[in-house]
């Protein structure tokens, strides 16, 4: 084999390797793009759940204030700050717990007859 033929063989081998790397990189970029879209969608869903939970908790707090407004002796604190520790499914459980507490409060107020003349 001549030096020129050997040179061409080495160049062809390197070119095939670069082409293979480029093909693998394209496939990896496509996979990462798909993963990014999934993560972006999950982040948007989490942001929507956070907003819904926050609004729901504010409304629940306002319901509690409205239910107990006749109790002049009771001092109500300002709306509490969100719990930054609750993660994942725990946030859904926390929202359910708030809703259950408001339902219990509403039932207790109705049993005792607060605000009735």
Q: Which residues of 74-102 are buried (b: 16+ CB within 10 A; e: fewer)?
A: eeeeeeeeeeeeeeeeebeeebeebeeeb
Q: Do residues 99 and 91 make contact, with C-beta atoms less than 8 angstroms apart? A: no
Residue 65 neighbours by CB under 8 Å, 6+ apart: 76
Residue 2 CA to its chain's centroid (Å): 65
Is 1 strand, coil or helix? coil
**Spatial distance between the Cα atoms of 99 and 68, rounded to a whole number of angstroms:** 16
- Say if 8 falls within a structural domain: yes
Number of domains in the chain: 1
- Say if 21 falls within a structural domain: yes
- Say if 48 falls within a structural domain: yes
- Say if 117 falls within a structural domain: no
Q: In which domain, by residue range, is 10 found?
A: 3-112
- Say if 70 falls within a structural domain: yes
- Say if 49 falls within a structural domain: yes
pLDDT tens digits, one per residue of 49-104:
888 888 888 888 888 877 777 666 666 666 666 666 666 666 777 778 888 888 88
pLDDT tens digits, one per residue of 16-31:
878 788 888 899 999 9
- Say if 44 falls within a structural domain: yes
- Say if 60 falls within a structural domain: yes
């Amino acid at each position: 084999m001549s030096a020129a033929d050997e040179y061409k063989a080495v160049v062809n081998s390197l070119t095939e390797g670069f082409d293979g790397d480029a093909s693998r990189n394209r496939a990896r970029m496509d996979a990462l793009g798909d993963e990014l879209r999934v993560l972006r969608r999950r982040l948007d869903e989490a942001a929507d759940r956070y907003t819904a939970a926050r609004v729901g908790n504010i409304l629940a707090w306002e319901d509690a204030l409205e239910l107990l407004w006749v109790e002049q002796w009771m001092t109500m604190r300002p709306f509490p700050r969100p719990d930054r520790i609750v993660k994942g499914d725990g946030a859904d459980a926390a929202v359910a717990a708030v809703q259950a507490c408001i339902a219990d409060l509403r039932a207790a107020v109705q049993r005792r007859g607060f605000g009735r003349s």
